[in-house]
Copies of this chain bind each other. A is one copy, B any other.
Amino acid sequence: MEKLTRNNRVVAITKLLTENPNKIIGLNKFSGLLNAAKSTISEDIVIVREVFAKLNMGKIETIAGAAGGIKYIPSINKDEAREFAEGLCELLKDESRIIPGNFIYVTDLMYDPTIVSRAGLILSTIFSNKEIDSVVTVETKGIPLAYEVSKNLGIPLVIIRKEGKVTEGSTVSINYLSGTSGRIQQMSLSKKLMKPNSKCIFIDDFLRGGGTAKGIIDLLNEFDSKLVGIGVLIDNIGVKNKLISDYISLIDLNNLDKDKELEITPSKIFDGDNFNL
């Protein structure tokens, strides 16, 4: 292959890093792909790293050693994140979203890649300093969001099913009280999917009473695994006496089930100095 210029190489390096968040890529890989010496590639990476830092486009870390290389850690700064949350609040304020039974319709937003990828980036930034083995969610609406978070963190997604399926092999199931339906429901996890002693975070679209999150803690216990964080897009803060207290949300919603005016605001996560947990 012909020699590439520096301009050309930094384009290729940026593309590969962006597409492979939290994956260590050895310098050899770039060296082979771009037909350039490792020392040249190292200089290229310095440029890419500086631009990412200057424009708040995430971090590039160097991992030393035989299995070393560089990895790209996606992140968003607090101002941009708050701006996104404010825009989402505007979308949610639309009165036609109120569904009989005091629910708010968010499905279209949870399936829109433009919104989900941004919300997932915010959540993965918040959890990026934690040591986590898997991102857990319960079917169905939160799956794209949980997937984005798992992709950014470079770890597998684990989807808990509402009932055991033949295609999942052996499963462990528990019963829990769902806040949405007010009914006893089942959740079920394939034994092949969860390694013992895993540290997990739970990502979902909506938090009401916390019954589902409580159920997941119990289910993970059955696998000798632990929930180390909970992140949701929207928290219905009007529901008091939640079953869990330690969680983060991007948007707080109030008065969904009263005759007062609906309140939808970015959550307090955007107030403090620290954005990462």
A interface with B by C-beta (< 8 Å) = 4, 6-8, 10-12, 14-15, 18-19, 23, 33, 47-48, 50-52, 54-55, 57, 99, 101, 103, 105-108, 111-114, 116-117, 139-141, 143-144, 147, 150-151, 154, 156-159, 161, 166-169, 180-181, 190, 192-193, 206
Contacts and interface: CB of A to CB of B under 8 A. Distances in A.
A82 to B, nearest CB: 18
Contacts of A156: 108, 111-113
B107 A167 contact: yes
A140 B143 contact: yes
Nearest to A34: B55
A167 to B, nearest CB: 5
A51 B8 contact: yes
Q: What number of copies of this chain does the assembly contain?
A: 2
Q: By CB atoms of chain B within 10 A, which of A111, A116, A156, A166 has the most?
A: A111
B7 A169 contact: no
Contacts of A51: 4, 7-8, 11-12
Contacts of A106: 167
Residue picked from A4, A8, A107, most chain B C-beta under 10 Å:
A107
Contact of A48 (B11, B52, B192): B11
A5 to B, nearest CB: 9
Contact of A139 (B14, B140, B157, B190): B140
A190 to B, nearest CB: 6
A87 B108 CA distance: 35
Nearest to A166: B101
Contact of A18 (B19, B54, B107): B19
